[in-house]
A and B are shown apart, each in its own frame.
Chain A
């Protein structure tokens, strides 16, 4: 049984990483229906800036806060410089803009920082914690706690605060939202800042496990996107469950079937789920009036 337990713990670790990335997708999607493909770059920036601030001698918590603030500023800049001028363009065009932005951010990062792999120390050391004969690193618990905390915060934000509801209203119908007095430009800026901040937080939490370099964003965004689709795009609960499911699927396939088919198995399950439930597990059904 220790094997099964180890597979589960591995799945939870990886799943929490995916969930944190997936959660970052939800806000921008909720505000504008845009899937932000630069989300992985926000995660990468969070890790990279923390690494360099930490190596410059700042204490780790301060370095992390700086990374989150700077990345949020990058998110705002992305909205102001690239998304807002293209206002009125179809969602597909905006998504393509985010892909371009991700390539740009990656390029700038390798010039400003470097092309090497980096890591900073785990928050609570590297001594494994033993659970029923299996082991887990303390940093994995940080990532899981981070994913749950971001989930709870987002859930409260979207259901309990006026600002959160304003974001949902903007997504639902931008014109109507404006008519009831919502500053939709401000909502967009806020959503990019928050998404970037959550991405950076994810980067700070996962870097001691996954390591960071300028090009880790693509793979993280791909898995995070898959997790968000599985759970239902735009729903924080979906992002959390989708991420953890994806991680567990990969770990179980690697453990019991073959590590060769790990990624394939995960994506086959995602395809099967989306075939039966196109909106994902927790996505809301949308109906268009024709």
Chain B
């Protein structure tokens, strides 16, 4: 009996805490705050919380307060599916943001498509929006776009033969295959194709083989986590005298620090406006939004802003914009408004959705960056 009472009390307290405001607009989120993808989900969760606080302080959407129901799926697709079901059935949210990883996102999609709830994913893979699913949208650019941006830059530099060294983790493997599928369009040939495990400590054997490949002019390293930092250090150790390209997966100040400014000198990668807010000309449409998010995030958390948190910033921005344009909390109306998004400036890029494009970004969303003297510079 006593156990029952305490449990009931605890449940009541929990209920009381989650529904402090009598909110009319309930937005659900499931991100990987902990677990192997915590570096994605942690800043995303913080961003969502601070944005909701900020929007509510400014009077909410059309005068109504937002209530955020946030779950931590730990990057586990099973949990993501459970939380999506709970958000739809128990919490009765009108829209969902989340799925920090592609796996979690793919698990959420069937649930929200059945329930007809608009959903914005924070994961990279192109499969999320290709083919287009009625209620599914996403904010991060795809890895295929990153490949295209990199190959465009290589072509402009007259590079025709490259080597690839990719991580065998999900991100690295997916980008490796996407890059291989578009590389032909740029008259570039991959003459060496090596891989490494995500936790490997030394990549000099692979790089030695790449260095020895015939006619090679540049190296591309799709991957994230510690791998790219170690590749960059080994690259400098072997004194390989060719341009090194990294992916958007490591577009953060942390990468320069981990790889060491000396080793990272000259490394190019496609990144978002968020990383280089100070370098953007005042005429740049993204300057204002990126700067304000950067300031807010860094003031509140004391940690440097990153691309991944930016994805959830843009997702919330898109959602709030769509809800205010829909003028109701009807899920289908919000979905239609999301699809009609036009010229919405976010930190990742400028979104213009259409019935055939539920991402709404083009290559201009990526900035080609080069590391010089331990900092970022824009490649024109």
Supposing A115-B39, A211-B230, A259-B195 touch, asked if A110 and B34 sit within 8 A by C-beta, the answer is yes
Q: B38 to A115, Cβ gap below 8 A?
A: yes
B263 is contacted by which of A7, A126, A219 (Cβ under 8 Å)?
A: A126
Q: Mark A117-136, 1 if CB is under 8 A from B, else 0.
A: 11100000010100000010
CA distance A210 to B229 in the complex (A): 9
- Would A263 and B197 count as touching, CB distance under 8 A? yes
A69 at interface by CB-CB < 8 Å:
no
Q: Mark B166-209, 1 if CB is under 8 A from A, else 0.
A: 00100000000000000000000000001111011110111011
Judge if B238 is at the interface, Cβ distance under 8 Å: yes
Interface residue from A6, A17, A260 paired with B201 (Cβ < 8 Å)? A17
B233 CB–A CB distance under 8 Å:
yes
The answer to whether B39 touches A10 (Cβ under 8 A) is no
Q: A3-B208, A13-B201, A251-B205 in contact; A259/B194 too (CB < 8 A)?
A: yes
Flag whether A281 is at the interface (Cβ < 8 A).
no
Q: Is B103 positioned at the interface, with any CB of A under 8 Å from its CB? A: no
In the bound complex, residues from chain B placing their C-beta under 8 Å from that of A115 are: 34, 38-39, 42
The reply to whether A262 and B197 form a contact with Cβ atoms under 8 Å apart is yes
Q: How many residues of B contact A (CB 8 A)?
A: 35
Does B36 lie within 8 Å of A215, measured CB to CB?
yes
B257 touches A259 (CB 8 A): no
Query: 8 Å CB contacts to B: which residues of A256-279?
Result: 259-260, 262-263
CA–CA, A57 to B263, complex, Å? 25
A216 at the interface (CB under 8 A from B): yes
| Docked-complex contact B205 and A209, CB < 8 angstroms | no
Residues of B close to A216: CB separation below 8 A: 199, 226
Give residues 221-269 of B contacting A (CB, 8 Å): 225-226, 229-230, 233, 236-239, 254, 257-258, 260, 262-263
Bound form: Cα–Cα A59–B315 in Å: 43
Smallest beta-carbon distance B258→chain A, Å: 5
Check A119–B257 contact: CB distance below 8 A. yes
Q: Within the complex, what minimum Cβ distance (angstroms) separates A265 from chain B?
A: 12
Nearest CB in chain B to that of A8: its residue: B205
Number of interface residues, chain A, beta carbon within 8 A: 35
Q: State whether the Cβ of A137 lies closer than 8 Å to any Cβ in chain B.
A: yes
Which residues of B lie under 8 Å from residue A251 when comparing CB positions? Answer: 202, 205
Q: Assess A117 versus B258: contact at CB under 8 Å? Given A6-B205, A206-B201.
A: yes
A7 and B258 contacting across the interface, CB-CB below 8 Å: no
In residues 228-280 of chain A, which contact B (Cβ within 8 Å)?
251-252, 254-255, 259-260, 262-263
In the complex, what residue of chain B is closest to A121 when comparing beta carbons?
B260
Q: Are A211 and B202 in contact (CB under 8 A)?
A: no
Q: Does any Cβ of A come within 8 Å of B212's Cβ?
A: yes
- Enumerate A186-242 residues with CB–CB distance to B below 8 Å: 206, 209-211, 213, 215-216, 219-220
A119 touches B258 (CB 8 A): yes
Given B201, B209, B254, B257, which contacts A209 in the complex, CB threshold below 8 Å? B201
- Check A259–B208 contact: CB distance below 8 A: no
Which chain A positions have C-beta within 8 A of B201?
A: 13-14, 17, 206, 209-210
- List chain B residues, Cβ under 8 A from A7: 204-205, 208
Q: How far is the CB of A254 from chain B (nearest CB, A)?
A: 4
Within the assembled complex, what's the spacing in Å between the Cα atoms of A135 and B233?
12
Closest to B40 in A: A115
CB distance from B131 to the nearest CB of A (A): 30
B237 touches A135 (CB 8 A): yes
Q: Is the CB of B257 within 8 A of A14?
A: no
* A9 close to chain B: CB less than 8 A: yes
Residues from chain B with Cβ under 8 Å of A135 in the complex? 204, 237-239
Q: Find chain B residues with CB under 8 A from A116 CB.
A: 39, 254
In the assembled complex, the CB of B45 is this many whole angstroms from the nearest CB of chain A, namely: 12
Q: Could you list 10 examples of A-B contacts with CB < 8 Å?
A: A3-B208, A7-B204, A10-B202, A110-B34, A116-B254, A128-B238, A135-B237, A213-B226, A259-B195, A262-B197
Query: Across chains A and B, which 8 residue pairs bring their CB atoms closest together, nearest first?
Result: A219-B199, A255-B205, A115-B38, A254-B205, A211-B226, A210-B201, A10-B204, A128-B237
Given contacts A7-B205, A117-B258, 19 further A-B pairs with CB under 8 A are A6-B204, A7-B204, A7-B208, A13-B201, A13-B202, A14-B200, A14-B202, A115-B42, A135-B204, A137-B233, A137-B237, A206-B201, A209-B201, A209-B230, A215-B36, A251-B202, A254-B194, A254-B205, A255-B206
